[in-house]
Amino acid sequence: MTDVFICDAIRTPVGKYGGGLSAVRADDLAAIPIKTLLERNQQIEAVAFDDVLMGCANQAGEDNRNIARMALLLAGMPESVPGVTINRLCSSGMEAIGMAARAIKAGEAELIIAGGAESMSRSPFVMPKHTSAFSRQAEIYDSTIGWRFVNEKFQKKYGTDPLICTAENLAAEFSISREDQDRFAHNSQLKTAEAQQNGALAREIIPVSIPQRKGDPVIFEKDEHPRLTSLEKLVTLNPVYGPGTTVTAGNASGINDGAAAVIVASEAAVKRFNLTPKVRVLGTQAAGVPPRTMGIGPVPATNKLLKRLGMSLDQMDIIELNEAFAAQSLACTRSLGMDDDDPRLNPLGGAIALGHPLGMSGARLVTTAVYQLQNKTSKYALCTMCVGVGQGVSMVLEKV
């Protein structure tokens, strides 16, 4: 099988809920990194791309009609280029990159744009149809995050624990204290604050121009979710589910907006279009876990992938673990035999600081890892994340 390379990667800043990107439709948001990749790689004729794969978790609003296809056309790509939207919930963006890599390895494609997008600010309310004639019952669900239209058979067999409950389940199962969660969250904020100050994050971000009704557009160029505060302040936050629980707004990821995309290419495409490969995609692996402890998914996914590749965690120079919750992250790192403050873990901060736009997050992890691997001493990166309804996905990258 042919080697697969990521030759370029870019993302928008991550917007907070109702914040800087909330005025941008999801399909327009997804088009931004695609258009940027085309502009930065003009030696590639856009018609040469075999496909565009974009992850998106919601698909209940402005993102409902195959956002990948809409975004590629909005970005100015030819009508002959197809597009498909992938949904593996939180890992959709990483899954899109993994599927692109598999297609190229199998010889069924040479050049693909892959990534993910999510506008959680613009996720709509949704209503079910009546199940009987002349019913006067009315229901409405917020599609921003979590369960809706629950299947009673699934509820009976597995339960439908809200995401915060799944983190509480892991905190109880692994005896993860509130103190340790707050310390982990604070460290994430510290790392992100430093990365914003020294420009490490700016390398991977394309500014977004937000048109205004009057005056010049607003240029949105910096992640706006980070909220560095003191550890003493984090300790004072009330747990979401009240006394006896541990998850707070301070030690959990956010509800966010954003988009990211990468160019995935075969060795032949690299030579044909004079591309500069940044990293080699060594493999991607998914695994299933109980839905009530969905946050532990990165552990079996990582173990399965490393075994298949004949590698060990000790070989990883960078470990980008999506921080859905501090409790969930610590359950994973401790199960993998890592220290809580392992310097390889999320060196620029994680989702607790940066935010978690569901369909984008996996592509954001990969993009961040690609840029960090350009460090002379770094060779391998592991990107891994948990997935709602009980899954995990992991990917290993090698610097070229």
Which residues are the active-site residues?
A: 90, 356, 386
Q: State the helix-helix crossing angle for 92-105 and 358-372, rounded to 10 degrees.
A: 60
State the DSSP code for 319.
Answer: E
Tokens of 245: 């629980």
State the DSSP code for 56.
Answer: -
How many residues are present in the chain?
A: 400
d(CA 359, CA 132): 35
The three-state (H, E, C) secondary structure of 225-288, written as one string: CCCCCCHHHHHCCCCCCCCCCCCCCCCECCCEEEEEEEEEEEHHHHHHCCCCCCEEEEEEEEEE
d(CA 111, CA 269): 6
Radius of gyration of the chain (CA): 20
Q: Which of 390, 389, 343, 385 is nearest to 98 (CA)?
A: 385
Give how far the C-alpha of residue 218 lies from the chain's centroid of Cα atoms, to the nearest Å: 25
Contacts with 232 (C-beta within 8 Å, 6 or more apart), sequence order: none
Quickly list DSSP for 68-106. Answer: HHHHHHHTT--TTS-EEEE--GGGHHHHHHHHHHHHHHT
What are the backbone angles phi and psi of residue 268, rounded to the nearest 5°? -65, -40
Listed in sequence order, the DSSP H helices in the chain are 26-40, 67-74, 92-105, 152-158, 163-173, 178-198, 231-235, 267-272, 298-309, 326-335, 351-354, 358-372
Q: Which of 282, 309, 269, 301 is nearest to 113 (CA)?
A: 269
